[in-house]
């Protein structure tokens, strides 16, 4: 989707300290960069806070700061990540995302053209997800005091009252479903960063999942848990689910979709694809008898075309994730201890 933001003349082409000082240049930045992209009935009031009408019910509230480098990568920007990541956090918790805030930390000298591109990408992502950016803040720090741009988004969603999702809900016998291939986001960042140009066909999976997740929950409200495997990848999410529910999880290596070029990059860099961050995938744990129906709904969406069952919940080896490998052996899928892929989101 192309967004047309009118661009009045700016007096500077890079971020100045005064753009964050609350004075005239702050107002100029707001009026000339952010307002044209994010314009909506709440933000346009330019008050210190958005005043929101919510339908009655419980709400979900979440926050994430995005520090990804580089801030432009195949398949997205730090801005699309900041919108989609927080939208997805809300969606996997069983809420319909409605409103986001956006808090920017900018390094003095950051190109205003880049900031405009990032703001536009956020506006497009918000529109695609059906959410509004209703509150914002911008701070500027001296050159060298931050690496370009960091963005915090916090989000409010309306909790569905027809579902009960929790990482403590897993039951032996449940099926583990995965909405598509793993490792695309992390490997797109790594190859962009390392200049591995022969792997340039890798593109981030960055996407909002709230429409697909809402459709799954509409038809399969008995889903036990959902998570998006971002930092720490599928391995971290499955371990967290196993520990929280005091159950074991068995997965099948050959069932987990990994694109050839992603697998190649992982092998080159010595990284397990299960530890790599995804930004447009989710894991759903559902009663076995509901698995086929849930997969059917997921596959109706572009982002869920490759959805597959990858394993099941067991009463054995509580708190542990065990994988049957392609060679037929079994190995424990552990949490990544260290930081293999810094600043991936």
**What span, in angstroms and rounded, lies between the C-alpha atoms of 95 and 312?**
25
Q: Does 3 bind a copy of itself (CB under 8 A)?
A: no
168-227 residues near a copy of itself, rule: CB under 8 A? 227
Q: How far apart are CA 13 and CA 241, in angstroms?
A: 47
Token pair, residue 14, equals 């890079």
Half-sphere exposure of 333 (CA within 13 A, CB side): 28
Q: Is 340 in the site for a copy of itself (CB under 8 A)?
A: yes
User: Rounded to whole angstroms, how far apart are CA atoms 97 and 235?
Assistant: 26
Do 107 and 15 touch, CB atoms closer than 8 A? Answer: yes
**Is residue 41 close enough to count as binding a copy of itself by CB under 8 A?**
no
C-beta closer to a copy of itself: residue 147 or 252:
147
Q: Which is nearer to a copy of itself, 98 or 262 (CB)?
A: 98
Candidate residues 82, 156, 213, 320; the one interacting with a copy of itself per rule CB under 8 A: 156
CA distances 104 to 139, 190, 331, 332, Å, are: 6, 24, 42, 40
Of 44-83, binders to a copy of itself (CB under 8 A) are: 45-54, 56, 58-67
Q: What residues form DSSP beta bridges with 153?
A: 64, 102
Q: Does 161 bind a copy of itself (CB under 8 A)?
A: no
Q: Which of 15, 83, 87, 90 binds a copy of itself (CB under 8 A)?
A: 90
- Smaller CB distance to a copy of itself: residue 49 or 325? 49
What are the φ and ψ backbone dihedral angles of 21, each rounded to 5 degrees? -95, 0
Cα–Cα dist 154/61, whole Å: 7
Q: Interface with a copy of itself includes 260 (CB under 8 A)?
A: no
The reply on whether position 37 binds a copy of itself by CB under 8 A is no
Among 33, 87, 92, 298, binds a copy of itself (CB under 8 A): 92
| List 6, 8, 13, 22, residue binding a copy of itself (CB under 8 A) | 22
């Amino acid at each position: 989707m192309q967004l047309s933001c009118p661009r009045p003349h700016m007096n500077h082409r890079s971020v100045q300290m005064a753009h964050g000082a609350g004075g005239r240049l702050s107002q100029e930045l707001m009026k000339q960069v952010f307002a044209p992209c994010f314009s909506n009935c709440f933000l346009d009031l330019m008050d210190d806070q958005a005043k929101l009408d919510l339908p009655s019910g419980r709400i979900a509230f979440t926050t994430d700061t995005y520090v990804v480098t580089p801030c432009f990568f195949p398949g997205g920007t730090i801005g699309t990540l900041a919108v989609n990541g927080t939208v997805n956090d809300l969606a996997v918790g069983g809420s319909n995302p409605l409103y986001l805030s956006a808090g920017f930390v900018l390094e003095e000298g950051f190109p205003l053209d880049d900031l405009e591109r990032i703001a536009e990408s956020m506006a497009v992502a918000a529109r695609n997800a059906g959410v509004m950016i209703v509150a914002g803040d911008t701070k500027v720090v001296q050159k060298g005091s931050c690496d370009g741009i960091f963005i915090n988004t916090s989000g409010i969603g309306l909790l569905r009252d027809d579902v009960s999702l929790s990482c403590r809900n897993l039951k032996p016998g449940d099926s583990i479903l995965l909405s598509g291939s793993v490792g695309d986001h992390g490997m797109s960042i790594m190859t962009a960063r390392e200049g591995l140009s022969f792997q340039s066909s890798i593109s981030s999976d960055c996407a909002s999942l709230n429409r697909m997740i809402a459709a799954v929950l509409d038809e399969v409200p008995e889903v036990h848990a959902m998570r998006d495997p971002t930092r720490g990848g599928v391995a971290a999410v499955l371990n967290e689910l196993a520990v929280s529910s005091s159950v074991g999880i068995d997965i099948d290596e050959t069932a987990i979709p990994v694109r050839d070029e992603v697998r190649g990059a992982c092998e080159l860099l010595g990284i397990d694809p299960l530890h790599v961050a995804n930004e447009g995938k989710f894991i759903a744990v559902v009663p076995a008898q509901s698995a086929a129906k849930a997969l059917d709904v997921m596959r109706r969406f572009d982002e869920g075309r490759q959805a597959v069952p990858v394993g099941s919940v067991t009463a054995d080896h509580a708190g542990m994730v065990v994988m049957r490998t392609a060679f037929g052996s079994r190995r424990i899928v552990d949490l990544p201890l260290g930081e293999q892929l810094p600043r991936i989101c």
